[in-house]
Amino acid sequence: MWILAEDAFDPAQQHHKETIFTIGNGYLATRGAFEEGYPNDRRATFIHGVFDDAPIVVTELANAPDWLAMQVLLDGEKFSLATGTILAYRRELDMQNGILRREVRWRSPQGRVVTIRFTRFASLADEHLLALRCEIVPEFDGQIEVRAALNGQTDNEGLLHWRLIEQGQLTDGTVFLRTRTRKSGIEVACAMRLHGDTAQTMFWDVENVPTLQQVYPAYAGQPIVVMKFVGIATSRDGNQPLDIAHHHVQTAHNWESALAAQQQAWAREWERCHVEINGDDEADLAVRFSIFQLLIAAPRHDHRVNIGAKTLSGFGYRGHAFWDTEIFMLPLFIYTSPEIARNLLDYRYVTLPAARAKARAAGYEGAWYAWESADTGEEVTPTWVPDFHDKKKLARVWTGDLAIHISADVAYAVQQYWQATGDNAWYIERGAEIVLDTAKFFAARAEWLAERGCYGYTDVIGPDEYHDHVNNNAYTNLLAQWNIRTGLETLAWLEQHAPQKAAELRQQLDLTPERLQHWQTVAEKMCISLRPNGLIEQFDGFFALKDVNLADYEPRTKSMHEIFGIEGANEYQAIKQPDVLMLQFLLREQYSDSQIRVNYDYYTPRTDHTYGSSLGPPIQAIVACQMGDVAEAYEHFIRAARADLRDVRGNAGDGIHAASAGGVWQAVVFGFGGLRIHPDGTWEVHPRLPSYWRWLTYRFTLRGQTHTVTCYPDGSYTIG
């Protein structure tokens, strides 16, 4: 299933649909808003790394100049779906080729009928090139006017980030716009050219909206074709972004060749991450959609950026990256496109100085990554946000202060990348330093809890954000333990395989024998609260909290957080997402099936699967598969699969749930597909397919070898 389509336009769903019809090329992405506009649309293009300051929320990706803008007028009547009559409508995202198409047959208020076909793509073959084609077939004789603009007056939900530098028309007819973010001073340059049928063309040099206006004679049944190419570049790409933009738009004089390059680039992309679910079209579409959304958001040539929690597809979380990247999205890249995974991990390497500064400012050694990270890696989690109930009041956000597990999540991804790729060169050069410096942080941050006789972490937030200011969150403690131990192993490995680097890092990070002994002690004596049956307490005192039967609150349309309030949620055992289960999923090798079962049975009914975190369901699905509960696994899986496609949480308009998308791929491959990869690089497959799936095929790459697995509902599988 390559085509995501809609056959009718529903204004009530416009923001949701803008999100899911996003196109992109890893350099930028553009939401699926209409070329001609629609009242209250949230049209947006986000370019990686183009951040600008914003009040309260610190920094955000600035909504770039609008390259789509195109108006069509029929004898002076403006084409708009907000007026006239829609006679036919179809919008479809061709994921195979990264192309968005829309075809509308429309009757104007005064009765002129026209069919308009828009096609757009952001070139994956040339990341500085954007292409838009408009075919107009009038059913009347008269005049067709087309206005194509670059619009520099875009805003982020009312906040304006731009100041015009310069605009105009070059001697070759190219219209350009140069604009700069107000605070961060990043320039974006756009260069526009029109191709297609000849027409009288005027340049309307209106400030911030340079426009080319064309007038065509219209004859019934005779198509008019206008092609708009836009070159785009920023001052992050070079000192003369306009020259870059101009160069790229000059090379694109032919729709067919640009399109062919796009198709080839996408074919290569899909080849690497092939998945097919036969027998379940919805699931098949959903997994391809999830992969597509991550592919268009993944930076290929810029290691100073990361993928935000909402990719580049919406205003939610303002382009900030979370642990969502490392824990949820990265496995797709690690096992299908390792060079993208490496690029994303490089971002954590170049932001190490900011992570060290964050730790230092809090009084610790080592690297404490920002909970929310943008261009510099500094902490950009807002400290205050408007309250749920009274938007005039502010609620304190604690994750930036307390969610220390992020450092271990990053280290975990580094280790996973290394194990999957065997990329020793990168690991020696960059990865090892991340693992060692995060280990150093966790050893420094650990507190000796004398009354319990163990080391632990007080006043933290774990993955389950319904509970803040907790002590000894099992996930945090045990990932920290893993991180410290892995640090020690890393150093030992370096001694053997790269002794010079080992010496360098010992020196640079001051890894004295005493310090390493302390690491050892902390890891050995890490607090963990375990019942005799293997049940892990999520944090100190969790089992003493009021128990809750979430079924009592059904049907509901909001999270338990909203129902209980921020303070109230702390008093109950209701959790936002798997926390202990997440721990067991990541450190799979440490837990027996029966211990996982005990925790699964306890925590599953206490988890807010429906309106808690969108990060929960895919992980829940994987663990359910491992427990053999395929029907229940499917329920969680399909909830994740629908997060954006059906907007089941009502917030898809803010952008793609990127962690969920990554989780969907993981649920298919590691859950139903039963792939289990061991730290030593060996792997096994235990398929657990829903009975009505005819087969599941997936492809992955491990240590340079690509494997294609096809599994069947009876548990059998083939490897190609």
Task: Please give the positions annotated as active site.
Answer: 465
Bridge-based pairing state of the strands 3-6 and 85-94: antiparallel
Angle at 65 between CA 62 and CA 69, to 5 degrees: 140
Q: How far is the CB of 117 from a copy of itself (least distance, A)?
A: 22
* Sheet hosting strand 28-30, strand order edge to edge: 23-24, 28-30, 45-47
Q: Is residue 503 within the footprint of a copy of itself (CB under 8 A)?
A: no
Is the Cβ–Cβ distance between 626 and 633 less than 8 Å?
no
In the list 143, 250, 278, 383, the residue contacting a copy of itself (rule: CB under 8 A) is: 383
CB of 440 closer than 8 Å to CB of 487: yes
The least CB distance from residue 211 to a copy of itself, in Å, is 5
Residue 644 CB, nearest approach to a copy of itself (Å)? 26
User: What gap in Å lies between CA 536 and CA 269, rounded to an integer?
Assistant: 42
The size of the interface with a copy of itself (CB under 8 A), counted in residues, is: 32
Among 23, 58, 340, 615, binds a copy of itself (CB under 8 A): 58
For residue 164, the cross-strand partners are: 179
Indicate the residue among 78 and 274 with the shorter CB distance to a copy of itself.
78
Shortest CB 184 distance to a copy of itself, Å = 13
Structure tokens at 321: 């990256």
Residues numbered 128 to 147 that lie near a copy of itself (CB under 8 A) are: 147
> Min. distance of Cβ 206 from a copy of itself in angstroms?
4
Q: Is 452 exposed, middle or buried (0-12, 13-18, 19+ CB in 10 A)?
A: middle
Q: How far is the CB of 54 from a copy of itself (least distance, A)?
A: 9
- Please say which residue, 3 or 160, places its beta carbon nearer to a copy of itself: 160
Asked if residues 618 and 637 have their Cβ atoms less than 8 Å apart, the reply is yes
207 binds a copy of itself (CB under 8 A): yes
CB of 712 to a copy of itself, least distance (A): 55
- For a copy of itself, the binding residues in 394-413 under the rule CB under 8 A are 394
Residue whose tokens read 């005049």 = 143
The residues, any chain, with a CB within 8 Å of residue 645's CB and separated by 6 or more, are 4, 20, 285, 286, 289
Q: Which is nearer to a copy of itself, 392 or 546 (CB)?
A: 392
Among 223, 268, 361, 384, binds a copy of itself (CB under 8 A): 384
Q: Which is nearer to a copy of itself, 205 or 429 (CB)?
A: 205
User: Does the protein bind a copy of itself through residue 209 (CB under 8 A)?
Assistant: yes
- Pick one of 86, 88, 170, 206: the residue that binds a copy of itself (CB under 8 A): 206
Asked if 194 contacts 252 with a C-beta cutoff of 8 angstroms, the reply is no
Which has the closest alpha carbon to 192: 146, 127, 274, 252? 252
Q: Are 26 and 295 in contact (CB under 8 A)?
A: yes
Annotated ligand binding at 324? The verdict is yes
**39: contact with a copy of itself by CB under 8 A:** yes
For the bound state, the minimum distance from the C-beta of residue 242 to a copy of itself, rounded and expressed in Å, comes to 18
Confirm if 187 and 179 have CB atoms less than 8 A apart.
yes
**Residue 629 annotated as lining a ligand binding site:** no
Candidates 173, 386, 681, 715: give the one binding a copy of itself (CB under 8 A). 386
Of 202, 213, 194, 210, the C-alpha closest to 150 is 210
The minimum distance between CB 400 and a copy of itself, in angstroms, equals 11
Taking the least distance from each CB to a copy of itself, the nearer of 182 and 588 is 182
Measured from the CB atom, is 7 or 207 closer to a copy of itself? Answer: 207
CA distance 180 to 201: 28
CA 614 – CA 608 distance, rounded (Å):
10
Contact call for residue 5 and a copy of itself (CB under 8 A)? no
Amino acid identity for residue 425 in this structure: A
**152-181 binders of a copy of itself (CB under 8 A):** 153, 155, 158-161, 163
The window from 1-9, 185-193, 382-390, 517-525 that contacts a copy of itself (CB under 8 A) reads 382-390
Residue 171 CB, nearest approach to a copy of itself (Å): 13
Token pair recorded at residue 526: 């890490």
The one-letter amino acid at 131: A
Which tokens hold the place of 571?
């008093």
Q: Which of residues 270-289 bind a copy of itself (CB under 8 A)?
A: none
- Which residue of 393, 497, 678, 694 would you call a contact of a copy of itself, by CB under 8 A? 393
* Stretch 67-106: interaction string toward a copy of itself, x if CB under 8 A: --x-x-----------------------------------
Three-state DSSP state, 698: strand
394's tokens: 């502010």
DSSP string across 537-563: PSSTTGGGSBP--GGGG-S-SS-HHHH
In the stretch 331-370, what mask flags binding to a copy of itself with x, by CB under 8 A?
Answer: ----------------------------------------
Between 205 and 281, whose beta carbon lies closer to a copy of itself? 205
∠ CA 327-333-338, nearest 5°, is 120
CB atoms within 10 A of CB 204: 12
- Choice from 29, 68, 130, 149 touching a copy of itself (CB under 8 A): 149
Spatial separation of the C-alpha atoms in residues 243 and 188, rounded to whole Å: 11
- Which residue lies nearer to a copy of itself by CB, 141 or 155? 155
Which stretch, 33-41, 523-531, 680-688, 709-717, contacts a copy of itself (CB under 8 A)? 33-41
| 409 known member of a binding site | no
Provide, rounded to whole angstroms, the least separation between the CB of residue 67 and a copy of itself.
15
**667-696 binders of a copy of itself (CB under 8 A):** none
Binding range to a copy of itself, per CB under 8 A, among 85-93, 206-214, 556-564, 594-602: 206-214
Under the criterion CB under 8 A, does residue 387 sit at the interface with a copy of itself? no
Structure tokens at 37: 């506009």
Nearer to a copy of itself, 39 or 513 (CB): 39
358 is in an annotated binding site: no
Would you say 219 or 384 has its CB closer to a copy of itself? 384
Strands (E), 586-694: 675-677, 683-685
245 token code pair: 């933009």
Question: Nearest to residue 400, comparing CAs of 379, 376, 386, 384?
Answer: 379
CA dist list (Å): 107 to 52, 87, 558: 42, 7, 41
Residue 245 DSSP one-character state: H
Stretch touching a copy of itself by CB under 8 A, among 42-50, 204-212, 301-309, 338-346:
204-212
> CB-based contacts of 615: which residues, under 8 Å, 6+ apart?
324, 328, 463, 577, 659, 660, 663
Residues making up the binding site for substrate: 323-324, 576-577
Binding site, residues? 323-324, 576-577
Where along the sequence are the contacts to a copy of itself (CB under 8 A)? 37, 39-40, 55-56, 58, 69, 71, 147, 149, 151, 153, 155, 158-161, 163, 182, 204-209, 211, 383-384, 386, 392-394
